[in-house]
Amino acid sequence: MKKHNFYAGPSILSEYTIQNTADAIINFADTGLSVLEVSHRSKEFQAVIDEATALVKEILSIPDGFSVLWLGSGASMQFCMIPYNFLARKASYLDTGTWASNAIKEARLFGDVDVVASSKDAGYTYIPRDYVVPADSDYFHYTSNNTIYGTEIRRDPDVPCPLIADMSSDIFSRHIDWSKYIAVYAGSQKNLAPAGVTLVIVRDDALGKVNRAIPTMLDYRTHIKKGSMFNTPPVLPIFSALQTLRYYKQLGGIDELERRDLEKAAMLYRAIDDSEMFEGTVTDPADRSIMNVTFVMVQKYKELEAKFVEFCSARGIVGIKGHRSVGGFRASLYNALPLDSVRVLVEAMHDFEATHLQ
Ligand SMILES: *Cc1c(COP(=O)(O)O)cnc(C)c1O
């Protein structure tokens, strides 16, 4: 049976990415060797990382003066590397969820942290507005897409200091105004590649402004200088990322990716809003994520939630169980998810409702 993969991360990758990765595991670039067993310093792999870096710059329209890095250890390591490298005195953070608050916790080890607003008291069901970011902040850090709670900030905030964003779960779904940013980072396992590599884009002239000593591996300048090859980079995830980037370019880049993402999200939110059985968990529709759609059953039907997950799984729909801290359902609609999978989910909602509505 065809599977419809709504997992939140690791998550669906394009067939193009999977097939080319599988092929290269057997025979990489006609070397007669697997991509798993070649030197990261071979000319064949150097070509992979060079092309991947160039495609990231091209697809995201990154101007000169920024470096694109491929680092190990996940987006969570950036929660510490960002303040290590950029927090000289004080930084501002927006608390919109678990990942944001994890980033705040790490930043506090390095200096003053001003949490300008938080939606924690309301279970992170909305994005705070009307907060004030002090102009003397070294940077303002925000999480553009809150993977667990289904909220998203799709416009680069206007604040009187440079921006840094964790875009782990919505990178490559919109354009970025680089003039506002000194860093953007994203773990690979949502919109790019298998888990294991983190894409970090840093503005070169924003580095070197902190007084502290930075351990070699945690200093962005080490990785800039060595082209992400100071140590062995995650070779396989970088290879897969290149395939995804080629696929994104072929499709038509960010404009087309965003158009598709908006279409998929609109279809699912319409089904939720039209339903008497399901309801969204994000309070203001303006804050709804187009990547992770969170919803529950209304109180009257609450006890049917587990049954709906089973009902879906019989139709090949996997990964829609909500995060344990939110409950209900979460359908992740990452770039690689076809519109058809959303159609199948919406149909399942209709059919389930037709059978169980009282
Ligand atoms: C998944 C996720 C993370 C954590 O990524 P790891 O690679 O597991 O460290 C951080 N931030 C956001 C927004 C995420 O979605």
Smallest CA-to-CA distance from 330 within 302, 315, 309, 353 is with: 309
What is d(CA 300, CA 289) in angstroms, rounded to the nearest whole number? 26
- The most distant pair of C-alpha atoms in the chain lies apart, rounded to whole Å, by 66
Across the chain, what does the average pLDDT equal? Answer: 97
Q: If pLDDT is split at 50, 70 and 90, which confidence band does 65 have?
A: very high
Global pTM value = 0.98
70 is a catalytic site residue: no
**Which CATH number is 304's domain given?**
3.90.1150.10
Mean pLDDT along residues 211-232 = 98
pLDDT for res 36: 98
What is d(CA 213, CA 96) in angstroms, rounded to the nearest whole number? 31
Kindly tell me if the per-residue pLDDT of 340 is higher than 90. Answer: yes
Q: Domain end: 192, 227, 251, which one?
A: 251
Query: Contact at 8 Å (CB) between 182 and 203?
Result: yes
> In this structure, are 268 and 131 located in the same domain?
no
> In this structure, are 77 and 97 located in the same domain?
yes
Tens digit of each residue's pLDDT (9 = 90 or more) over 70-109: 999 999 999 999 999 999 999 999 999 999 999 999 999 9
Counting the structural domains of the chain, the total is 2
What is d(CA 192, CA 199) in angstroms, rounded to the nearest whole number? 9
Atom of ligand 1 nearest to the CA of 188: 7
> In this structure, are 148 and 261 located in the same domain?
no
Tens digit of each residue's pLDDT (9 = 90 or more) over 258-308: 999 999 999 999 999 999 999 999 999 999 999 999 999 999 999 999 999
Tens digit of each residue's pLDDT (9 = 90 or more) over 150-163: 999 999 999 999 99
Q: How far is the CA of 43 from the centre of ligand 1 (A)?
A: 31
pLDDT for res 241: 98
Smallest CA-to-CA distance from 100 within 144, 56, 65 is with: 144
> In this structure, are 246 and 282 located in the same domain?
no
pLDDT for res 91: 98
Residue minimizing CA distance to atom 14 of ligand 1? 168
Contact residues of ligand 1, CB 6 A cut-off: 9, 74-76, 99, 143, 147, 166, 168-169, 187, 190
Q: Domain end: 210, 230, 251, which one?
A: 251
> In this structure, are 270 and 334 located in the same domain?
yes
Q: Is the dihedral of CA 320, 173, 217, 178 positive or negative?
A: negative
156 is a catalytic site residue: no
Range of the domain at 108: 15-251
Mean pLDDT along residues 2-11 = 97
SS3 290: coil
Q: How far is the CA of 287 from the centre of ligand 1 (A)?
A: 19
**Which CATH number is 193's domain given?**
3.40.640.10
Is 310 exposed, middle or buried, given 0-12, 13-18 or 19+ CB atoms closer than 10 A?
Answer: exposed
Kindly tell me if the per-residue pLDDT of 358 is higher than 90. Answer: no
Q: Domain end: 223, 251, 279, which one?
A: 251
pLDDT for res 146: 98
Tens digit of each residue's pLDDT (9 = 90 or more) over 134-143: 999 999 999 9
pLDDT for res 259: 98
Kindly tell me if the per-residue pLDDT of 325 is higher than 90. Answer: no
Query: Contact at 8 Å (CB) between 163 and 156?
Result: yes
> In this structure, are 35 and 131 located in the same domain?
yes
pLDDT for res 275: 97
99 is a catalytic site residue: yes
> In this structure, are 40 and 158 located in the same domain?
yes
Kindly tell me if the per-residue pLDDT of 1 is higher than 90. Answer: no
| Residue labelled with tokens 């059919």 | 351
Query: Contact at 8 Å (CB) between 78 and 70?
Result: no
Q: How far is the CA of 128 from the centre of ligand 1 (A)?
A: 21
> In this structure, are 263 and 229 located in the same domain?
no
Q: Helices 98-107 and 74-86 meet at what angle, rounded to 10? A: 40
Show the tokens assigned to 98: 């678990």
In DSSP terms, 164 is beta-bridged to 141, 183
Q: Which of 70, 95, 99, 138 is catalytic?
A: 99
Query: Contact at 8 Å (CB) between 126 and 282?
Result: yes
Q: Which of 95, 138, 178, 190 is catalytic?
A: 190
Smallest CA-to-CA distance from 154 within 63, 265, 51 is with: 265
Mean pLDDT along residues 26-55 = 98
> In this structure, are 86 and 166 located in the same domain?
yes
Q: How far is the CA of 75 from the centre of ligand 1 (A)?
A: 5
> In this structure, are 260 and 247 located in the same domain?
no
What kind and span of H or E run contains 70?
strand 66-71
> In this structure, are 277 and 213 located in the same domain?
no
> In this structure, are 100 and 115 located in the same domain?
yes
Atom of ligand 1 nearest to the CA of 189: 7
Q: Choose one of 96, 105, 168, 292 to mutate for the ligand 1 pocket test, by most ligand atoms within 8 angstroms of C-beta.
A: 168
Residue minimizing CA distance to atom 2 of ligand 1? 168
